[in-house]
Amino acid sequence: MDLLEIPCGYCQCGCGEKTRIHARNRTRNNERKGQPKNFLPGHYRKMLMIPWEERFWKKVHKAETCWLWQGTIDQHGYGTFALTARKNIGAHRLMWILMHGPVPESLFVLHRCLDKANPLCVNPAHLYVGTQYENVQDSLREGTHIALIQPNYLRDYVVQHPEVLPRGEDHKNSKLTEQAVREIRMLYPSLRTTALAQRYNVSVSTIAHVIHKTVWRDV
């Protein structure tokens, strides 16, 4: 039985058995609570025994323009394919590799469909390799960039990954050096904050922040 002919609610390995219902959401596998599972326990690995190229092409629907991916879809709307039990790859990226060979290092496989970039399209004629900048520009133009879909994404990302922000002397507006910060903390309270501010040509509030470690915490 062709994988595309197996109805929802039946094991996608082709055994003909009905599957259970998801008890909770799992974003990684695009599973939704209340929907039927794709496989019975152990049958996913059984399906992986089929050569991956055969499994891949069974999930490609060749329409007039875009070739639509009929397999698993990630949370961003792109098709994903299980090469092995532990390794997934983007369906459009794998199509490029099949047709053209390995993707050059630091480049991405992008879409250029006729009407609008279709994340489910795997038509090799609609794919090209580009830089991260081109990737971001495409997503901004199409309105699919995560910063547009989730307005608080950039703020939340910085909170979770503070290391991406320039710190200390690397910050373009920094007027102090690490050595100066250490000296300020050693000289206080022998010198008042006003005297320290004059010596290091910064504001009194900056001196106070340095002393109380609300800034330059790592020094």
| CA separation for the pair 37, 10 (Å, rounded) | 8
**Closest by CA position to 55, among listed 77, 88, 31, 30:** 88
Average pLDDT over the chain, rounded to an integer: 80
| CA separation for the pair 161, 8 (Å, rounded) | 40
Q: Which helix (H) or strand (E) holds 146?
A: helix 146-149
133: its two tokens: 């900048």
The DSSP line for 95-127 is: HHHHHH-SPPTT-EEEE--SSS--TTB--GGGE
129-143 pLDDT per residue, tens: 998 888 777 776 666
Across the range 92-118, mean pLDDT stands at 87
| CA separation for the pair 108, 110 (Å, rounded) | 6
Which pTM value belongs to this model?
0.51
19-50 pLDDT per residue, tens: 888 777 765 555 677 788 777 787 777 777 77
Strand partners, 80: 90
| CA separation for the pair 80, 62 (Å, rounded) | 17
155-176 pLDDT per residue, tens: 666 567 666 566 777 777 788 9
43-92 pLDDT per residue, tens: 777 777 778 888 899 889 998 889 999 888 887 788 888 877 677 899 99
Confidence bin at 1 (pLDDT 50/70/90) = very low
